[in-house]
Amino acid sequence: MSELETAAFNLHPIGSGPFKFVEFLTDQHVISEANQEYLLGKPNIETLVYQKVAQDAIPIYLQQSRVDFVEISPEQYPQVSTMNGIDVYKHALRNALLPILTDVSYAFADPRIRYE
Protein backbone atom coordinates (compact mmCIF):
# COMPACT_ATOMS: atom_id res chain seq x y z
CA MET A 1 0.00 0.00 0.00
CA SER A 2 1.39 3.39 -0.94
CA GLU A 3 1.82 6.33 1.41
CA LEU A 4 -0.86 8.18 -0.53
CA GLU A 5 -3.43 5.49 0.27
CA THR A 6 -2.70 5.70 3.99
CA ALA A 7 -2.34 9.50 4.23
CA ALA A 8 -4.72 11.03 6.79
CA PHE A 9 -6.32 13.37 4.25
CA ASN A 10 -7.29 10.36 2.09
CA LEU A 11 -8.60 8.27 4.98
CA HIS A 12 -10.92 11.03 6.23
CA PRO A 13 -12.07 13.04 3.19
CA ILE A 14 -14.32 16.06 3.55
CA GLY A 15 -16.70 17.74 1.15
CA SER A 16 -20.03 19.48 0.75
CA GLY A 17 -21.79 17.17 -1.72
CA PRO A 18 -24.94 15.07 -1.32
CA PHE A 19 -23.10 12.26 0.53
CA LYS A 20 -20.64 12.19 3.42
CA PHE A 21 -17.79 9.73 3.80
CA VAL A 22 -18.27 7.02 6.43
CA GLU A 23 -15.75 4.23 5.83
CA PHE A 24 -13.12 3.00 3.39
CA LEU A 25 -11.59 -0.49 3.50
CA THR A 26 -8.96 -1.12 0.82
CA ASP A 27 -10.08 -3.70 -1.76
CA GLN A 28 -13.42 -4.10 0.03
CA HIS A 29 -15.78 -1.13 0.07
CA VAL A 30 -16.47 2.56 0.48
CA ILE A 31 -19.52 3.63 2.49
CA SER A 32 -21.17 7.07 2.23
CA GLU A 33 -24.29 8.40 3.94
CA ALA A 34 -26.78 11.09 2.98
CA ASN A 35 -25.69 14.62 3.87
CA GLN A 36 -28.66 15.98 5.82
CA GLU A 37 -27.38 19.53 5.27
CA TYR A 38 -26.73 19.30 1.53
CA LEU A 39 -27.39 22.62 -0.23
CA LEU A 40 -29.89 21.08 -2.70
CA GLY A 41 -31.68 19.00 -0.06
CA LYS A 42 -31.17 15.59 1.50
CA PRO A 43 -30.74 12.77 -1.06
CA ASN A 44 -33.46 10.11 -1.29
CA ILE A 45 -30.88 7.38 -0.74
CA GLU A 46 -29.75 7.05 2.88
CA THR A 47 -26.59 4.96 2.41
CA LEU A 48 -24.36 4.16 -0.58
CA VAL A 49 -22.01 1.19 -0.48
CA TYR A 50 -19.49 0.83 -3.28
CA GLN A 51 -18.26 -2.73 -3.01
CA LYS A 52 -15.48 -4.40 -4.94
CA VAL A 53 -16.91 -7.54 -6.56
CA ALA A 54 -15.03 -10.00 -8.73
CA GLN A 55 -16.29 -9.83 -12.32
CA ASP A 56 -17.23 -13.52 -12.40
CA ALA A 57 -19.28 -13.15 -9.18
CA ILE A 58 -21.56 -10.41 -10.53
CA PRO A 59 -24.27 -12.78 -11.90
CA ILE A 60 -24.40 -14.54 -8.51
CA TYR A 61 -24.75 -11.22 -6.67
CA LEU A 62 -27.58 -10.26 -9.04
CA GLN A 63 -29.42 -13.56 -8.51
CA GLN A 64 -29.14 -13.12 -4.73
CA SER A 65 -30.34 -9.46 -4.90
CA ARG A 66 -27.09 -8.33 -3.25
CA VAL A 67 -26.61 -5.35 -5.60
CA ASP A 68 -28.86 -2.55 -6.80
CA PHE A 69 -26.65 -1.36 -9.64
CA VAL A 70 -23.71 -2.97 -11.39
CA GLU A 71 -21.88 -2.62 -14.67
CA ILE A 72 -21.50 -5.96 -16.43
CA SER A 73 -19.09 -6.99 -19.15
CA PRO A 74 -20.32 -7.62 -22.71
CA GLU A 75 -19.59 -11.32 -22.15
CA GLN A 76 -22.04 -11.40 -19.22
CA TYR A 77 -24.86 -9.74 -21.13
CA PRO A 78 -26.43 -12.96 -22.54
CA GLN A 79 -26.65 -14.54 -19.08
CA VAL A 80 -27.71 -11.47 -17.12
CA SER A 81 -30.26 -10.23 -19.68
CA THR A 82 -32.33 -13.41 -19.23
CA MET A 83 -32.52 -13.19 -15.41
CA ASN A 84 -35.96 -12.54 -13.96
CA GLY A 85 -36.38 -9.19 -12.24
CA ILE A 86 -33.20 -7.71 -13.74
CA ASP A 87 -33.38 -4.70 -16.04
CA VAL A 88 -30.40 -4.43 -18.38
CA TYR A 89 -29.55 -1.20 -20.19
CA LYS A 90 -26.94 -0.93 -22.92
CA HIS A 91 -24.80 2.17 -23.25
CA ALA A 92 -21.70 3.17 -25.11
CA LEU A 93 -18.61 3.52 -22.97
CA ARG A 94 -17.24 7.01 -23.03
CA ASN A 95 -14.07 7.08 -21.04
CA ALA A 96 -11.95 10.19 -20.89
CA LEU A 97 -8.74 10.86 -19.07
CA LEU A 98 -8.37 14.48 -18.05
CA PRO A 99 -5.27 15.93 -16.48
CA ILE A 100 -6.00 17.77 -13.26
CA LEU A 101 -3.60 20.55 -12.42
CA THR A 102 -3.61 21.66 -8.82
CA ASP A 103 -0.97 24.36 -9.15
CA VAL A 104 -1.51 25.96 -12.53
CA SER A 105 1.00 28.77 -11.98
CA TYR A 106 3.77 26.23 -11.46
CA ALA A 107 2.61 23.90 -14.24
CA PHE A 108 2.65 26.64 -16.86
CA ALA A 109 5.60 28.65 -15.57
CA ASP A 110 7.77 27.38 -18.42
CA PRO A 111 6.82 29.40 -21.56
CA ARG A 112 7.88 26.51 -23.80
CA ILE A 113 4.75 24.53 -22.82
CA ARG A 114 2.07 27.19 -23.30
CA TYR A 115 0.63 29.16 -26.18
CA GLU A 116 1.20 32.87 -26.16
Provide the sign of the torsion angle of the four alpha carbons 45, 46, 50, 53, taken in this order.
Answer: negative
DSSP state of 71: P
pLDDT at 53: 87
- Three-state DSSP state, 8: helix
3-55 confidence digits (pLDDT tens): 877 787 777 777 788 999 998 888 888 999 999 999 899 999 999 998 888 88
pLDDT at 73: 87
Single-letter amino acid, residue 78: P
**What does the alpha-carbon distance between residue 102 and residue 115 come to, in Å, rounded to a whole number?**
19
Single-letter amino acid, residue 42: K
Domains, in order of start, for the chain: 3-90 (3.40.190.10)
- For residue 73, what are the contacts with CB-CB under 8 A and spacing of at least 6? 55
